[in-house]
Structure 1
Amino acid sequence: LPYGVRTKALNYPNIHYNVNPVALALTSGYTFVARGYAFNGEHLKELIKKAIVHRGSAFIDVLQPCVTFNNIYTAEYYRSRIHDLQKAGWNPVVERLDEAVEKLQGAIKFSLEEERIPIGIFYVNPHVPLFEERLRKVLKEYPRVNPANSPIERNNAPVLSSDIFEELF
């Protein structure tokens, strides 16, 4: 909700500046970034499926009008402003490493649109190594020895008791 906007659920206009979740995800290094619209269920379902099968960090911003408390950003508001990036011809996939910056810049540009609201896939970069792959280069014993496989108890007693925790921290 932008700064200064007041919905019927707020006693005062919003005192916070809004965050652009798509731009935040793009600049934070997510390798799959998309936006869907809750009232376009099939499209949203396809985005979710693509995000799940993507090898890497995925982020989907879901636009969902609140019919009870938000009388400004209504279904009609979104319906008249959304446009599908893929239907408009945007190819978000980084095919070659040398086009990664160009694709990222294009995705950021779309994320900053104000009059129209783009939905669809903004960015996909399958060339970024997975976190696990990068971690294995630094910690050779990973995943054989990792926190998820570490014991949390020995001889039926917790490895880290509240006394030890307080002593450490």
Structure 2
Amino acid sequence: MSSDIRFTDFKSDAQPTWCPGCGDFGTMNGMMKALANTGNSPDDTFVVAGIGCSGKIGTYMHSYALHGVHGRALPVGIGVKMANPNLEVMVAGGDGDGYSIGAGHFVHAVRRNVDMSYIVMDNRIYGLTKGQFSPTSREDFETATSPEGTKQQPVNPLALALSAGGTFIAQSFSSDAQRHAEIVQQAIEHDGFGFVNVYSPCVTFNDVDTYDYFRDTIVDLDEADHDPTDYDDAKEKILDADKEYQGVIYQDESSVGFEEREGITESMADIPEGAPEDAMDLVREFY
């Protein structure tokens, strides 16, 4: 890993097409800063994304990347990490991508505890498809497809992660640039599956969960005398429906990543003998 990498080294030449003011800009900037601060470089970083506004993030970041299908980013990321444990693998998703069609993969990725990070841009809406309610939308949230509210309790992704045996569970706010980057950095440095749910407001289709709402209601755990190693305290805060928390909510400091437990240390990306030169270049580039 290089020590002279700057976060701007992770910016690609592609111009984001997110709506002006979208929270995903801040989420991505924090991801790039965290990667640089941990000494990673684009050459040893692999970003996997699914479908939705968050799915574009691999295009906007300069690293190895794969833009997969809806809800399937996590198994791809796990496969990449198991094939080459030397890569820093970061999976990016949204609340629809990760907590709806991808919910099964999410639970199993948490329990496997592969040493990677999962950053979810939670805007509590389906933004790319023009404003339907998502798994994390409020029960009374009115949209074109739920004019009388969703009439469903929102999914609590932090509770899902804790019940599945999560070893690093955190939450951040994309507009709080320094704290967000710090929290993502802690997820990267954690030995195991580092999960960060990011409040990432949608300025076009969600006029309830806004920047002002989060600024007024977020409680920063660094200022709340919280011990992230205390499981019971973490459970209490995760189940507190009246507060929006920012910070590391739970961390098992004795965690050991799956591939380390299984003794997987060598890259499986072998180049077959006799492969044509252009194919070998492709394999080197991919891995």
Any residues of structure 2 matched to 1:40-55 within 5 Å, and which? 40-55=176-191
2:252 corresponds, among 121, 125, 129, to 125
Residues of 2 paired with 1:48 and 1:120: CA distance?
10
Residues of 1 paired with 2:186 and 2:255: CA distance?
17
Any residues of structure 2 matched to 1:65-144 within 5 Å, and which? 65-93=201-229, 103-136=230-263, 142-143=264-265
For normalisation by structure 1, the TM-score amounts to: 0.70
Residues of 2 paired with 1:77 and 1:10: CA distance?
23
Residues of 2 paired with 1:30 and 1:155: CA distance?
44
Three-state SS of the structure 2 residue aligned to 1:59 is strand
Residues of 2 paired with 1:61 and 1:15: CA distance?
23
State the 1:77 CA deviation: 1.6
Gaps of 5+ in 1: 94-102, 137-141, 157-169
State the 1:107 CA deviation: 0.7
- Corresponding residue of 1:27: 163
Gaps of 5+ in 2: 1-136, 276-287
State the 1:62 CA deviation: 0.2
One-letter amino acid of the structure 2 residue matched with residue 108 of structure 1: K
Question: Are 1:37 and 2:135 counterparts?
Answer: no
Question: Contact between 2:222 and 2:247, CA under 8 Å: does it hold in 1?
Answer: yes
When the two structures are aligned, how many residues end up with a matched partner? 139
State the 1:90 CA deviation: 0.7
Q: What fraction of aligned residue pairs are identical, expressed as a percent?
A: 30
Three-state SS of the structure 1 residue aligned to 2:191 is coil
Return the structure number with greater relative CO, CA threshold 8 A, min gap 6. Answer: 1
Instruction: Specify which structure has the higher proportion of helix.
Output: 2
State the 1:3 CA deviation: 2.7
State the 1:17 CA deviation: 3.4
Q: Which has the larger radius of gyration?
A: 1
- Per-residue deviation, residues 68-91 of structure 1 (Å, max 9, x unmatched): 111111222212211111211112
CA RMSD of aligned residues (A): 2.4
Three-state SS of the structure 1 residue aligned to 2:162 is helix
State the 1:19 CA deviation: 0.9
For normalisation by structure 2, the TM-score amounts to: 0.43
